[in-house]
Chains A and B, each alone.
Chain A
Amino acid sequence: MSASATSAESTSFAARINHPAARALIERHRLRWWEVLPWIAAIAGYFIFPGYLGFGTELLVAILFALSLDLALGYAGIITLGHAAFFGAGAYTVGMLADHGVWSEPITGLMLAALVAAIVGLLSGLVLLRTRGLTLLMLTICSMALLEQAANMAHDYTGGFDGLPNLPITPIFGVFNFNPLYNNTQYLYALAVLLACFVFVRTLVYSPFGQSLTGIRENLLRMHAVGAPVRRRLIICYTLSAAIAGIAGGLWAQVNAYVNLSSLDLDRAATVLIVLILGGYGRLYGAFVGAVVYLALEHFLARIYPTAWQLGLGILLVFIALFARNGILGLGEALWRRYGGRHKPSAPS
């Protein structure tokens, strides 16, 4: 009697967890088999294209920067065109400390970069995140322009437009030196930093906190109605995103041994936004796909046609805007749902 009751109970439990919605919730943070592919590709790239590691390093920095923007824009829906403010804050933290002989150890340097960028993010977020939409967009550009102008005026400390050259960055763990000509160390270092930051962001977006961010993005009113502390969550998210952008900036300064005003300019902020939208925002891997496609296309087109490469890039962007509103990953998902979705195994093994 009791045995059959238990059995009935367990069947209903099994039935419940086998419900597609339940499975989606339980499995959403599981590692999928294809999630190792980008990392295998990155390591394979190290061995296959040893001559391109300088470009590869720049690519990894761009991915990290786009990932930080994805957290704010893609997950929390904070529309910003001023993310280079944090990239620059991180870059100048590393640059000024190294140039003035205060601190040149790379790993702790990145932590300091993250800290400074987070403080900038927190302070600006407290003010900016009271607004939404276009107002927010304009204010993020303004705060970035203010920082850029401040860095220009503090010429004696920041080097102004010419920047701080030949930064003395000490070897990693005191052993692995940054060779300016062959960027093997820089590449692996950037890859390791990217992996660490990625694991953090992935954990964050699949946590209840991350889910509440998605909720805020999708339905602000309802999140207010259920009593979620919307503003506080947005500020925390913005601060964390700023910290990661700061790490990207610090990394950029370290691998180039150089920092200048371009780390704070609109060009950089716009490019990262294009990269993210191209790859697909709110998807974690959109930053990877977008950066690789956009920057690799730019790099190799510019090699072949130094004067006319922008045409090719423009055509790509027009096609993405016309046919893939959710970016390359969004297009892939749509195609998968249409043609490949029915092959997906639905029963648990």
Chain B
Amino acid sequence: MFKPMLTAFAAVAVTAGGAMTQAASAQDIKIGLVLPYTGIGAELAQQIERGMELYLKLNADAVKPYKITFIKRDSKAPNGAEAKIAVQELLTQEKVDALAGFVYSPDAIGSAPLIAAGNKLAVIENAGTAFITNLAPEFVRTSFTMWQSGYAMGEAAVKNLHAKTAVVAYTDYPPGKDSYQAFKTAFEANGGKVLDAIPAGGPGQVPDFTPFFQRAKDEKPDVLYVFVPAGDHATAAAKTYAALGMREAGIKLIGPGDITQDIKLQGMGAAAVGLITMHHYNADLNNPENKRFVAAWKKAYGADSTPDFMAVGGYDGMAAIVHAAHATKGKMDGAAAVKSLEGWKFNSPQGPIMIDPATRDIVMNEYLDEVVKGSDGKLHMKVIGETKAVKDQCKALGIGRCKK
């Protein structure tokens, strides 16, 4: 706790000392981190922060000559107002050079008017509601939108899994609705048919999935597409699927990778084996960047801990800010920083990524994964298909608030 504070003080001292020489103060890049450090989101905040720190550790040479300091603020409950106050004080008091974080969509949405007025780069490292980047020209997203995995899965369900009919069961809140809409749009565009869409409870507490899944089973689809929050919801869904004998009935359980989030995967147990998901990242991805990233992670944070897609969102976000720092020669003017990132390409642990110049959203590969049991007795993700350079289709198709 005191280490970052000391760094912050040191940074202030350096700035004050080098006030005469313009060059010295330009070396310092202050980043305001807006993350939910308390409450149920604390685990997610930790993933993102560690991802960012690990980028700085692994790429010390690329960061030079800049010195990155974090100023952390708790975004507290996801009501938007708390994050807004944090962003306001970071911009007007701390005079940060860039903002990063934003786990919950309301935090980014509530801060949007300030970010538009503040002219500082704001990197979204998780919040997945598609239309957010339309709200302020300073938003750049290195995470994902719910549409990317859902849409890619809709295509892959027809092409790779040869499904003709599907039933969707989703947790009834925006990520669930977005994921459902994305899947349905792509699935039906490719000739599939969604037989039924079942809202299955809220995100607050785990419902009994039996009635929802029994209804799905009775409709005899080829696949059951499920969106539920990672963790207890996903575990319960996988167990209900097994208990109802749906696999034996020839129904595949599929979904976006949120339901097989790496940090929750081992807790799902044997029920998860055979689950097929679509996502841009899993810790088992076989590429040199990811091998280096996961090894460094385990070394720094313990052999039992694992990075997940949130950590990679943080890692890529940090890389984006460092790129903007070089491109603007440390000045970090908001418009110039955003401009330097439009079309920016980066070799991330998740594979090659790019920032779409038109939407400032990430363009990335989506991997079709199957949960398998490894020789070490643990669950792993096996890549069985890949969709390259997936854009956010919500904005491409102009659906709802995604319309400019």
Q: Which residues of A contact B (CB under 8 A)?
A: 51-52, 54-55, 58, 152, 155, 160-163, 165-166, 179-183, 252, 256-258, 260, 262-263, 265, 267-268, 299, 302-303, 305-310
Least CB separation from A54: chain B residue: B88
- Across the interface, which residues of B come within 8 angstroms of A163, CB to CB? 80, 106, 109-110
Whether the Cβ atoms of B110 and A162 lie closer than 8 Å is no
Contact B93 A51 (CB under 8 A): yes
B12-20, B172-180, B304-312: which one contacts chain A?
A: B172-180
Known: A183-B88, A256-B84; 16 extra A-B contacts, CB below 8 A, are: A51-B92, A55-B89, A152-B172, A152-B173, A161-B173, A162-B174, A163-B80, A165-B109, A166-B135, A180-B88, A260-B110, A262-B79, A262-B80, A267-B77, A306-B38, A307-B74
Are A302's CB and B174's CB within 8 A? Answer: no
Q: Which residues of B contact A179 (CB under 8 A)?
A: 117
A54 touches B89 (CB 8 A): yes
Contact with A along B121-158 (1 / 0, CB 8 A): 00000000100000100000000000000000000000
Least Cβ–Cβ distance between B132 and chain A, in angstroms: 8
- The A-B contact count (CB < 8 A) is 104
Contact A51 B89 (CB under 8 A): yes
28 contacts between A and B (CB under 8 A): A58-B81, A152-B172, A155-B174, A160-B177, A161-B173, A161-B174, A162-B129, A163-B80, A163-B110, A180-B113, A180-B114, A180-B117, A183-B88, A252-B81, A256-B81, A256-B84, A258-B80, A258-B109, A258-B110, A260-B110, A262-B78, A262-B80, A262-B81, A303-B89, A305-B1, A308-B1, A309-B74, A310-B38
Q: Is B324 an interface residue (CB 8 A)?
A: no
Q: How far is B173's CA from A179's CA once the two chains are assembled, in angstroms?
A: 31
Instruction: Give the CA-CA distance A213 to B43 in the complex, in Å.
Output: 48
Question: Within 8 Å of chain A (Cβ to Cβ): is B116?
Answer: yes
Choose among A152, A265, A267, A306 the residue that contacts B74 (Cβ–Cβ < 8 A).
A306
User: How many residues of B are in contact with the other chain, CB < 8 A?
Assistant: 38
Report how far A262 CA is from B77 CA in the complex, Å: 9
The 4 tightest CB contacts between A and B, nearest first, are A262-B79, A180-B113, A54-B88, A306-B74
- Does A309 contact B105, Cβ atoms closer than 8 Å? no
Bound-state Cα–Cα, A194 to B177, Å:
39
Q: Are A256 and B89 in contact (CB under 8 A)?
A: no
Q: How far does the Cβ of B82 sit from chain A's closest Cβ, in whole Å?
A: 8
Minimal Cβ-Cβ distance residue in A for B172: A152
Contacts of A161 on B, CB cut-off 8 Å? 105-106, 173-174
Bitwise, B75-116 to A at CB < 8 A (1) or not (0) is 011111100110011011100000000000110011011101
Residue numbers in B under 8 Å from A306 (CB-CB): 37-38, 72-74
Inter-chain contact B85/A54, CB cutoff 8 Å: yes
Smallest Cβ distance from A153 to chain B, in angstroms? 8
Q: Quick check: B89 and A307 within 8 Å, CB to CB?
A: no
Complex-state Cα separation, A163 to B91, whole angstroms: 24
Separation of A233 and B318 alpha carbons in the complex (Å): 60
Task: Name which residue of chain B comes closest to A305, CB basis.
Answer: B1
Q: Are B85 and A55 in contact (CB under 8 A)?
A: yes
Check B112–A165 contact: CB distance below 8 A: yes
Inter-chain contact A180/B38, CB cutoff 8 Å: no
- CA of A299 to CA of B88 in the docked complex: distance in angstroms? 13
User: Do the beta carbons of B118 and A181 come within 8 Å of each other?
Assistant: yes
State A51–B129 Cα separation when bound (angstroms).
30
The residue of chain B having its C-beta at the shortest distance from the C-beta of A156 within the complex is B400
Q: Are B113 and A166 in contact (CB under 8 A)?
A: yes
In whole angstroms, what is the CA distance A252 to B81 when docked?
Answer: 9
Closest chain-A Cβ to B129's Cβ sits at a distance in Å of 5
Give Cα A265–Cα B114 distance, bound, in whole angstroms: 25
A305 to B174, CA, bound (A): 31
CA distance A183 to B202 in the complex (A): 35
Is B58 an interface position by the 8 A CB rule? no
B42 CB-CB contact with A under 8 Å: yes
Cα separation A258 to B74 with both chains bound (whole Å): 19
Shortest beta-carbon distance, B43 to chain A, in Å? 12
Q: Which chain B residue has the least Cβ–Cβ distance from A57? A: B85
A107 to B202 CA separation, bound complex (whole angstroms)? 36
Chain A residues whose C-beta falls within 8 Å of the C-beta of B129 in the assembled complex: 162
Q: Which of B144-195 contact A (CB under 8 A)?
A: 172-174, 177
Chain A residues whose C-beta falls within 8 Å of the C-beta of B78 in the assembled complex = 262
Q: A58-B85, A152-B173 are in contact. Are A181 and B72 (CB under 8 A)?
A: no
Give the residue among B93, B113, B173 with the most A Cβ atoms within 10 A. B113
Cβ A181 vs Cβ B88 within 8 A: yes
Q: In the complex the two chains form, what is the Cα distance from A117 to B93 in whole Å?
A: 37
Do residues A307 and B80 form an inter-chain contact, with CB atoms below 8 A? no
CB distance from B239 to the nearest CB of A (A): 26
CA of A267 to CA of B81, assembled, Å = 13
The answer to whether A165 and B135 touch (CB under 8 A), given A55-B89, A260-B79, A260-B80, is yes
Q: How far is it, in angstroms, between the C-alpha of A54 and the C-alpha of B91 when the chains are bound?
A: 12
Q: Is the CB of B177 within 8 A of A256?
A: no
* Chain B, residue nearest A55 (CB): B85
Known: A162-B129, A262-B106. Is A302-B74 also a contact (CB below 8 A)? yes
A154 to chain B, nearest CB (A): 12
A191 to B83, CA, bound (A): 22
Q: A54-B84, A180-B117, A258-B109 are in contact. Are A160 and B79 (CB under 8 A)?
A: no
Q: Considering the chains assembled together, what is the distance between the CA atoms of A298 and B202 in angstroms?
A: 29
Are A307 and B113 within 8 A (Cβ)?
no
Bound Cα distance A51, B78 (Å) = 23
Closest residue of chain A to B113 (Cβ to Cβ) is A180
**Could you say which residues of chain A place their CB within 8 Å of the CB of B84?**
54, 256, 258
Instruction: Give complex CA distance A85, B369 in Å.
Output: 44
Known A-B contacts A52-B89, A54-B88, A302-B76; the reply to A180 vs B106 at CB < 8 A is no
The answer to whether A181 touches B1 (Cβ under 8 A) is no
A222 to B274, CA, bound (A): 70
Which residues of A are found within 8 Å of B42, using beta-carbon distances? 307
Contacts of B81 in A (CB 8 A): 58, 252, 256, 258, 262
Chain B residues with CB below 8 A from A302, complex form: 73-74, 76
**A-side contacts of B174, CB under 8 Å:** 155, 160-162
Distance of A164 from chain B, by nearest CB (Å): 9
Checking A58, A162, A182 against B105 with a beta-carbon cut-off of 8 angstroms, the contacting residue is A162
The residues of A that contact B88 with a CB separation of less than 8 Å are: 54, 180-181, 183
Q: Which residues of B sit under 8 angstroms from A308, Cβ to Cβ?
A: 1
* Residue of A179, A181, A262, A306 most packed against chain B (CB within 10 A): A306
Q: How far apart are the CA atoms of A308 and B2 in the complex, in Å?
A: 12
Of A52, A55, A182, A256, most B-chain CB atoms within 10 Å: A256
A253 to chain B, nearest CB (A): 10
